[in-house]
């Protein structure tokens, strides 16, 4: 008899969490320890040779972080997961095992501004390059993939506009070319979207946002689907070829579906040091326990606020994919069946100056560079999170100068609407 899989709401509380064997503590303890004692010399050697799984040093492995990794893998339906210090760290870690000097990543032009800057500027220092294309244009996506492409990168629900990517169509292209698909699932969370079910190879998160949910800590995560054949070609030698630092061990041959996970820990965390601290992991574990409840409320509130804004004469347009007027609405039920999250933008007819006045006039909304908080947040992306981009890049990313980004929280939606109404009155002529 096949055992029924546990539901999402059960996994978000129980996955990775077991009573502490030493004390019986029911909540995952914060293992605030730098190092862990070996049983004997043979045990230490086995751990360092990757012949045995265990705890060595908290830059690599830590019991609190390990519990979070297990929970994230369970929620995303992956084989394993690696947590690190931030969402940006997760992106570099995801690419680190795949890329080499002269190789490229093909990325959506609808991405968080910091990601565009990281991909267009910072990764060049590694000798990597990025090509940005519109992922709604599948022909352009396919044309951008060449012999040096080592990954394709997009967001499930794009920041800031809330656009939903057709992951099924994109993964069909990446599968055809034998290239891994990396999906940033920060805005959707695994409650609204599970990219692995739509063909993603790796899923990355800024756990700082909805997963923790209370704006207290930063953290990142990479979930490994375990489904990509890293040995099908010679394009991914870090995973398929002998690793000199481990006496010729071949990660894919040795660890199979967990090849990427083990490499990201044993090489990525070892050498890049982008470690998640155990206290941050603990906060995130506690936040995830209520993820489904919060996301339901986020979506309900966002839809009500977006509907109100769409009918306001001072507003030019609203980008929320949960609105029937959105061109991405038909994708919602297929890609994000439980809702379109709570991140979206709206444009003011009075332009840039009105956007600035609006932000300076709100009371309940917090003007911060974050999203996914219990509190409702507001920002003018063109002058902040997307400031480093050209105006053409800003427009392509959905962050034009006349656009304001909202992250709708868990407050009474009528109070949020009243606050926006008075701020719009102050901002618009």
pLDDT digits (tens, 9 = 90+) for 399-421: 788 999 999 999 999 999 999 99
CATH number at residue 278: 3.40.640.10
Per-residue confidence (pLDDT) for residue 385, from 0 to 100? 67
Q: Is 427 exposed, middle or buried (0-12, 13-18, 19+ CB in 10 A)?
A: buried
Whether 340 has a pLDDT exceeding 80, the answer reads yes
Q: Is residue 1 part of a domain?
A: no
Nearest CA to 146 out of 129, 163, 168, 159 is that of: 129
Q: Domain ends where: 234, 269, 287?
A: 287
Same-domain pairing of 233 and 299? no
Per the structure block, which two tokens stand in for 233? 């070609």
Residue range 7-13: average pLDDT? 96
Same-domain pairing of 215 and 265? yes
Per-residue confidence (pLDDT) for residue 387, from 0 to 100? 67
Q: Is residue 166 part of a domain?
A: no
CA–CA separation, 245 and 421 (whole Å): 61
Q: Domain ends where: 227, 260, 287?
A: 287
Order of all β-strands in the sheet with 181-184: 80-84, 220-224, 202-206, 181-184, 149-155, 104-108, 129-133
Residue 2: pLDDT band by 50, 70, 90 thresholds?
low
Same-domain pairing of 317 and 336? yes
CA–CA separation, 121 and 284 (whole Å): 30
Supply the mean pLDDT for the chain: 94
CATH number at residue 364: 3.90.1150.10
Same-domain pairing of 218 and 82? yes
How do residues 371-405 score in pLDDT, each as one tens digit? 999 999 999 877 776 666 677 777 666 778 899 99
Note whether 6 and 75 are within 8 A (CB). Answer: no
Q: Is residue 301 part of a domain?
A: yes
Residue range 257-268: average pLDDT? 97
Whether 290 has a pLDDT exceeding 70, the answer reads yes
Same-domain pairing of 203 and 323? no
How do residues 158-216 score in pLDDT, each as one tens digit? 998 899 999 999 999 999 999 999 999 999 999 999 999 999 999 999 999 999 999 99
Same-domain pairing of 337 and 412? yes
CA–CA separation, 47 and 140 (whole Å): 46
Q: Is residue 162 part of a domain?
A: no
- The model's pTM is 0.95
Whether 269 has a pLDDT exceeding 60, the answer reads yes
Per-residue confidence (pLDDT) for residue 338, from 0 to 100? 97
Per-residue confidence (pLDDT) for residue 386, from 0 to 100? 65
Share of the chain above pLDDT 70, in %: 98
Per-residue confidence (pLDDT) for residue 401, from 0 to 100? 85
Per-residue confidence (pLDDT) for residue 381, from 0 to 100? 79
CA–CA separation, 30 and 302 (whole Å): 34
Same-domain pairing of 279 and 403? no
Same-domain pairing of 365 and 405? yes
Q: Domain ends where: 258, 287, 316?
A: 287
Same-domain pairing of 197 and 249? yes
Same-domain pairing of 304 and 257? no
- The domain of 385 spans 291-427
Q: Is residue 249 part of a domain?
A: yes
Residue range 251-260: average pLDDT? 97
Per-residue confidence (pLDDT) for residue 4, from 0 to 100? 85
Note whether 184 and 205 are within 8 A (CB). Answer: yes
Same-domain pairing of 61 and 188? yes
Domain tally for the chain? 2
Same-domain pairing of 229 and 266? yes
């Amino acid at each position: 008899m096949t055992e029924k899989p546990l539901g999402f709401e059960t996994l978000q509380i129980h996955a990775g969490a077991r009573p502490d064997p030493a004390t019986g503590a029911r909540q995952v303890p914060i293992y605030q320890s730098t190092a862990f004692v070996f049983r004997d010399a043979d045990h230490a050697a086995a751990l360092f040779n990757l012949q045995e799984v265990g705890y060595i040093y908290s830059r690599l492995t830590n019991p609190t972080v390990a519990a979070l990794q297990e929970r994230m893998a369970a929620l995303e339906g992956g084989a394993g997961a690696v947590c690190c210090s931030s969402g940006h760290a997760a992106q570099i870690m995801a690419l680190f095992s795949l890329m080499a000097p002269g190789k490229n990543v093909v990325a959506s032009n609808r991405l968080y501004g910091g990601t565009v800057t990281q991909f267009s500027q910072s990764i060049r220092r590694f000798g990597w390059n990025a090509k940005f294309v519109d992922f709604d244009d599948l022909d352009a996506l396919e044309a951008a993939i060449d012999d040096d492409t080592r990954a394709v990168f997009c967001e499930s629900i794009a920041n800031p506009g809330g656009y939903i990517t057709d992951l099924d169509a994109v993964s069909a292209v990446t599968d055809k070319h034998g290239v891994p698909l990396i999906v940033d699932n920060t805005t959707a969370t695994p409650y609204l979207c599970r990219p692995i079910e739509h063909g993603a190879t790796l899923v990355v998160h800024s756990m700082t946002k909805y997963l923790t949910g209370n704006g207290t800590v930063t953290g990142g995560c990479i979930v490994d689907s375990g489904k990509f054949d890293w040995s099908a070609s010679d394009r991914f030698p870090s995973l398929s070829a002998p690793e000199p630092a481990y006496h010729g061990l071949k990660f894919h041959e040795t660890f199979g579906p967990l090849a990427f996970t083990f490499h990201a820990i044993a090489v990525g965390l070892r050498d890049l040091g982008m470690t998640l601290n155990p206290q941050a992991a603990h906060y995130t574990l506690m936040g995830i326990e209520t993820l489904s409840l919060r996301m339901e409320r986020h979506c309900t509130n966002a839809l009500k606020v977006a509907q109100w804004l769409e009918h306001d004469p001072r507003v030019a347009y609203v980008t929320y994919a949960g609105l029937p007027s959105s061109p991405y609405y038909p994708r919602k039920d297929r890609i994000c069946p439980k809702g379109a999250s709570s991140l979206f933008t709206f444009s003011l007819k009075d332009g840039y100056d009105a956007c600035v006045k609006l932000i300076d006039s709100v009371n309940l909304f917090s003007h911060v560079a974050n999203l996914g908080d219990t509190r409702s947040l507001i920002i003018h992306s063109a002058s902040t999170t997307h400031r480093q981009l050209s105006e053409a890049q800003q427009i392509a990313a959905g962050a034009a100068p006349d656009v304001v980004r909202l992250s709708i929280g868990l407050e009474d939606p009528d109070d949020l609407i009243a606050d926006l109404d008075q701020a719009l009155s102050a901002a618009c002529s």
